[in-house]
Amino acid sequence: MKRLLALLFALCFAPAYAQNNATIGTQMSPDGSYSSLKILWPPTTEGLWYFNTGSLTPSYINIGTGLAVSGGALNVTTPAPTAFAYGYPTTRTLAVSTSYQANDNTRAAVITVSPQCTNATTVIAASACTLQARVNNSTATCANGVVVATWTSQYALGLLLTNVSGSPFDIKLPAGGSFILCPISGTFTFPTAVDQVAG
């Protein structure tokens, strides 16, 4: 009887305390033995009515960016995709065993390196040139990061020649990443190296 009177009291007097355009309703208790009055104050922005499973109460949720209500429908605005493009290449001066970042380290980049190494081969010995490129998420060393490329050149024994070998390769560098060129064997120079923003 007391619960019934409390409910009737709430239904009669709650509108006096509710703000204009508020939503008033009742909600059953978890065990279904009684109901309680719920007042949803009108939201300050357009929103949706939803059930909050954390508080087990009805509530409003705001309509976020990219969503809009029009003609009684919830519409989604999809931003136009950004076209992928490479930036114009800029030259770089590189040396071995030195950590570098892209010219614009806030964006991904492709670093194209053209190494040169002189290997002298004799009848009794073949001199190899081997170079590793490593990428790391902080300062790069020849002991950390990930080996992303290995460049090597070697001639067979008995050719009795000295040869300068060189061919380009790319290092795909994430935004904020660092790279390093590590000589494993041989003496290297980099007459050509370029840096291009990617994306």
Q: Could you tell me which residue, 82 or 8, shows the higher pLDDT?
A: 82
Paired residues of 36 in beta bridges: 27
Q: Report the mean per-residue pLDDT for the chain.
A: 80
Whether 147 and 189 map to the same domain: the answer is yes
Number of separate domains in the chain: 2
pLDDT tens per residue across span 142-197: 999 999 999 887 655 445 555 555 678 999 999 999 999 999 988 898 999 999 99
pLDDT over threshold 60, residue 110: yes
Whether 47 and 102 map to the same domain: the answer is no
How many CB atoms are located within 10 Å of the residue 44 CB? 8
- Please tell me the distance from the alpha carbon of residue 33 to that of residue 21, in angstroms, as a whole number: 29
Phi, psi (deg, nearest 5) at residue 125: -150, 140
Whether 71 and 24 map to the same domain: the answer is yes
Q: What is the CATH number of the domain that holds 106?
A: 2.60.120
Position 66 scores a pLDDT of 81
- Please tell me the distance from the alpha carbon of residue 167 to that of residue 50, in angstroms, as a whole number: 62
Q: Is residue 82 part of a domain?
A: no
- Please tell me the distance from the alpha carbon of residue 137 to that of residue 135, in angstroms, as a whole number: 7
Position 53 scores a pLDDT of 84
Position 126 scores a pLDDT of 58
Q: Is 11 helix (H, G, I), strand (E, B) or coil?
A: helix
Position 186 scores a pLDDT of 84
Whether 72 and 129 map to the same domain: the answer is no
- Whole domain around residue 102: which residue ranges? 90-197
- Please tell me the distance from the alpha carbon of residue 18 to that of residue 162, in angstroms, as a whole number: 93
| Percent of the chain residues topping a pLDDT of 70 | 78
Q: Is 4 helix (H, G, I), strand (E, B) or coil?
A: helix
Whether 130 and 63 map to the same domain: the answer is no
Cβ-count burial of 153 within 10 angstroms (0-12 exposed, 13-18 middle, 19+ buried)?
buried
- Residue type at 96? V
